[in-house]
């Protein structure tokens, strides 16, 4: 392949001409069951009728007016996000990284507004991924993403995954809060234990720290609750959302309590495109579906079924699949073979997946799938396992 694009992505040599629900159809006519969802973006699958209708209608109205004027679509979307969550106020962005940046700035500004500007540091966790801007790669702490881009942005202290003692030890007079993904996506689908999250909330309250969540990937219903943190019964102070919020249209959001956002006053932050009429309209359409009666319980139920089928697959192919991790419709298969080989074998069987750290392959189907899609996905994974096992058997026979 040759291209004028930056060569920063390892793209598969496939181009798609059409999408339909959970399916993608390539230019050559091959059909793929999409359990990648554009990395958890396509919460309602491809060409969802309500999103298509909403976007077509919004396209007949002003696409963009800037944040110099009122945007009723954004006001309505913010009100609905507030009603559905812990939050009191919302700031709209274009992407997840920008939403995390807004969350970081909100946490720092909170302490500045309290007369403690020296409290700007955030404690983060190993395996985290918070985006690709300079601040968010520093928050993630992965040397692979930091190297070559100059001195990392100051203010992030990493501790081992779910280690409360390490968090306590890392707190100093400069600490503003703790930033984490309740379910680490790129880090290998690791789920923070609910009890750890409850203890972390108590620690934050005792030490005057803000609990800041990155739910860019695991939020908006992906785990069977609107926010993944709800599984632990914990109320955060600030949450970053994106990906599934737009169902394929770029939009992100930083949600906060009134108290946590008290430093974000007139002129402290801004965005040219964030929350424009087109994006806010589509975001509202996504909420029409995700917050409809019975939708999230159905996601949770399908997640239970998928977990069961994947566990059975692991039992049959223990030489290929080491563990199954995840929650709702957000799973990871830690493989005993290179995860890239596993994903390639799945793709050869017509199933799209996403790679993650710790040798994990992510399964992130649209939230609109049904039992037949799960059965089809597991059948294709079964054939992918057999495809990978075949060379080993041949070598053993030789």
Binding-site positions: 96-97, 129, 132, 214-217, 271-272
Q: Look-up: residue for tokens 């302490």?
A: 111
Q: Alpha-carbon distance 197 to 202, whole Å?
A: 9
Query: Annotated binding site for pyridoxal 5'-phosphate, which residues?
Result: 96-97, 129, 214-217, 272
**Dist CA 334 CA 356 (whole Å):** 9
Alpha-carbon span 229 to 83, nearest angstrom: 16
Strand 175-180 vs strand 360-363: parallel, antiparallel, or unpaired?
Answer: unpaired
Residue 121 in contact with residue 172, Cβ under 8 Å? yes
Which residues are documented as binding site for N(2)-acetyl-L-ornithine? 132, 271
* Distance (Å, whole) CA 255 – CA 107: 12
191/215 Cα distance (integer angstroms): 12
Q: What is the CA radius of gyration of the chain?
A: 21
């Amino acid at each position: 392949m040759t291209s004028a694009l930056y060569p920063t992505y390892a793209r598969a040599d496939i181009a798609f001409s059409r999408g339909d629900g959970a399916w993608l159809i390539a230019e050559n006519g091959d059909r793929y069951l999409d359990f990648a969802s554009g990395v958890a973006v396509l919460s309602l699958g491809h060409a969802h009728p309500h999103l298509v209708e909403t976007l077509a209608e919004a396209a007949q109205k002003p696409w963009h007016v800037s944040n110099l004027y009122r945007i009723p679509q954004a006001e309505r979307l913010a009100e609905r996000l507030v009603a559905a969550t812990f939050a009191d106020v919302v700031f709209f962005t274009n992407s997840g990284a920008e939403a995390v940046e807004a969350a970081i700035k909100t946490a720092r500004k909170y302490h500045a507004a309290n007369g403690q500007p020296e409290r700007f540091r955030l404690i983060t966790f190993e395996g985290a991924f918070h985006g690709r801007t300079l601040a968010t790669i520093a928050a993630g702490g992965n040397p692979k993403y930091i190297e070559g881009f100059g001195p990392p942005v100051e203010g992030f202290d990493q501790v081992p995954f779910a280690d409360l003692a390490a968090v306590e030890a890392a707190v100093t007079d400069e600490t503003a809060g703790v930033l984490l993904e309740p379910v680490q996506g790129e880090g290998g689908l690791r789920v923070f234990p609910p009890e750890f999250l409850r203890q972390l909330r108590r620690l934050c309250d005792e030490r005057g720290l803000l609990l800041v969540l990155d739910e860019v990937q695991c939020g908006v219903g992906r785990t069977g609750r609107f926010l993944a943190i709800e599984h632990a019964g914990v109320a955060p102070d600030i949450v970053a959302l994106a990906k599934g919020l737009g169902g394929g249209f770029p939009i992100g959001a930083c949600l906060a309590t009134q108290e946590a956002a008290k430093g974000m006053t007139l002129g402290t932050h801004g965005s040219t495109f964030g929350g424009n009429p087109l994006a806010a309209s589509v975001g509202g359409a996504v909420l029409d579906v995700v917050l409809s009666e019975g939708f999230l319980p159905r996601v949770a139920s399908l997640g239970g079924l998928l977990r069961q089928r994947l566990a059975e697959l692991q039992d049959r192919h223990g030489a290929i699949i080491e563990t199954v991790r995840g929650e709702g419709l957000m799973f990871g298969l830690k493989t005993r073979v290179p995860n890239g080989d596993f994903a390639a074998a799945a793709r050869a069987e017509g199933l799209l997946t996403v790679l993650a750290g710790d040798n994990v392959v992510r399964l992130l189907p649209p939230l609109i799938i049904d039992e037949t899609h799960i059965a089809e996905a597991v059948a294709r994974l079964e054939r992918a396992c057999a495809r990978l096992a075949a060379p080993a058997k041949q070598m053993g026979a030789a």
